[in-house]
Amino acid sequence: MTVLFGLVTAFAWAFANVFTQQVTRTKTKPAVIMFWVLIVTTAAVLPLALIVDHLEGPWTIEALAWPVAAGVLADVGFFLLLRALRKGSLSVIAPIIALEGGVATIFSIALGERPSMLMYALIVVAVIGAVLVALEPGRRTAAGAPEAILAAVAYAGVLIALGQSELPDLTTVGITRATSVLVILPAFLLVRQLPSRVNVYPIIWCGLLDAVGFVCFAFAASIGPLSVASVTATQWGTAAALIGIFGMRERLFVNQYIGIAVTLIAVTGLGLAS
């Protein structure tokens, strides 16, 4: 189930970023995009959390610290993602940010998680696959790559924080997204703009898919192990590449095709081994 929820997360986030890129190309201010996407996500998750979790605790400072930290880091990652997508292409940016899985895996092992040796090997293969997808021959640094790398580190922190939360899964996601809204609110109040008509539907879809992704990852992380949940969920970069190849007719380099195949094989192995 961990891998299944992780893969649903991956495809939800991949499609969410297709819509995100559409919005960034309209030169809309990042604060406007972030605020309205987060409003949609929070509005989708909070009622569901109240119905399913019934405000179950523990409601302590220690328990709240992890989802609040995830919300702050998610805003940092989202801002960097928008900057990267405005400069570069989705098929390049997404796999770079998907390296968050490797960073999160290192963090989870440092926190005491001990996967089996087979899982260690498959995690390494999955990370290698993501690296192959991210490499683009003929360029020293792909457009938007620096922002994408920093976003990967921020999102790795989000994955770890979600996995460490002691609160119920949906409550954790609800607090995380509500925190993100509160963090971006001051920046939004400086501009106070409604989304343009052409951006309304992409923002709604982005917010809803983001909610699906976060909820499914929370379930995957709670089932565990966190290292497997992190690597499978962050294959949204591979999913985005597949969307680009088959849906958007983007052309990739040979190493990127190889990376997609290697990653899918590794994710399948993780599913059989977990």
More confident residue, 40 or 133: 40
Could you read off the pLDDT of 247-269 as tens digits, one per residue? 877 777 788 788 778 877 877 67
Torsion, Cα of 30, 34, 35, 40 (10° steps): 150
Mean pLDDT, the chain, as a whole number? 84
What is the DSSP code string of 154-176?
HHHHHHHHHHH--S-HHHHHHHH
Neighbours of 137 (CB within 10 A): 8
Cα gap 216→108, rounded to integer Å: 19
Domain boundaries, the chain: 2-273
Residue bearing the bigger pLDDT, 212 or 238? 212
Return d(Cα 40, Cα 8) in angstroms, integer.
19
Tens of pLDDT, residues 47-105 = 888 888 888 878 889 889 999 999 999 999 999 999 998 887 787 787 778 777 667 76
In the chain, the DSSP E strands lie at none
One-letter identity of residue 50:
L
pTM: 0.82
Report the b/e string of 193-229 with b at 16+ CB within 10 A.
eebeeebeebbbbbbbbbbbbbbbbbbbbbbbbbbbb
From CA 129, how far away is CA 261, in angstroms rounded?
Answer: 8
